[in-house]
Structure 1
Amino acid sequence: MSKLQALLFERVNKREVIDFVEGVNGLIAVTANTVYLVRGSFLEKKVVKTYAIKSISSIEIRKPNLITNGHFQIIASGSGDRTKRYSTAFDYAKDENTVMIRSNYEHFLRIEQLIYKQRDKADHVTEIIAPVAVAKEDDDVFSKIEKLASLKERNLISAEEYEKKKAELLSQI
């Protein structure tokens, strides 16, 4: 086990990690809701960055060639790509959101697809849950109005109090 893997598994339960891949200066690990980027080459301080799957807006991946390393860069919402349009491999190597690739490019491609798959799965769950939550809120408002009507019928609150509270509750919908 490499030092980067050991650092990752100090923070994350090994069973939660779906897949991971190690590059030149770091590794990328994917769980159901989080992507971990662990960086730290020989002279570099070891750091673990976490990204919520939902916050990843894009990934830039470049294949290594005979002369230069490739790279795997995570771009999350709220933090733009800080590298220039015509950046060199050296610029990417300095970027904290990037892991350099020398070999196992295909594994990095699989990790990229896994991240997008997990993100899409999280978006799909949100699409299903959000309308259900709104429906529950609406039902909750109507059940409160029914309780108010019951209180009014039993003369526990006045008609004015009922109308005022009913208008307040209906404004929440």
Structure 2
Amino acid sequence: MAIERATFGAGCFWGVEVRFNEVTGVIDTTVGYEGGKLEHPTYKDVCTDRTGHAEVVQVTFDNSRLSYDALLDAFFALHDPTQVNRQGPDWGTQYRSVIFTHNDEQFRAAKIKIAELNASGMYRDPIATQVEPALAFWKAEEYHQRYLEKRGMVSCHI
């Protein structure tokens, strides 16, 4: 088994977490905050839209069963990557489309995937997804972990 991590922001992390947990080869998911300037942010902090954090899902996956490229495909399929700072009814920088990469290989793969999607004509507008090196990941409060699953829900608006 080749365990790796990947971190994605695609809007509200509740629905994103559910979708990634459906992907064969994903071992675990953790929702949290990344990309901001405040240490140990809370949900309340991030919702002010002043910390710079995105709501993200950190995915632990078995690279012998699931490629990073396949995870990128899942990420782009589960949200509208042309939206800037919003997904569905949610808006603000915390809902931006972003990929936090854990190594140079992931960074290159994300940039190549975005170029391919832009060239494909699949989207009317250009991809707005940001690609940034992963820095500090702050785990969200426990009540956010598997939020929809705990409530017997299978999806939200995404």
Which category of TM-score, normalised to the shorter sequence, fits these structures? under 0.3
Structure whose alpha-carbon radius of gyration is higher: 1
TM-score (norm 2): 0.26
Higher helix share: 1
Higher strand share: 2
> Highest relative contact order (Cα 8 Å, sep 6+), 1 or 2?
2
TM-score (norm 1): 0.24
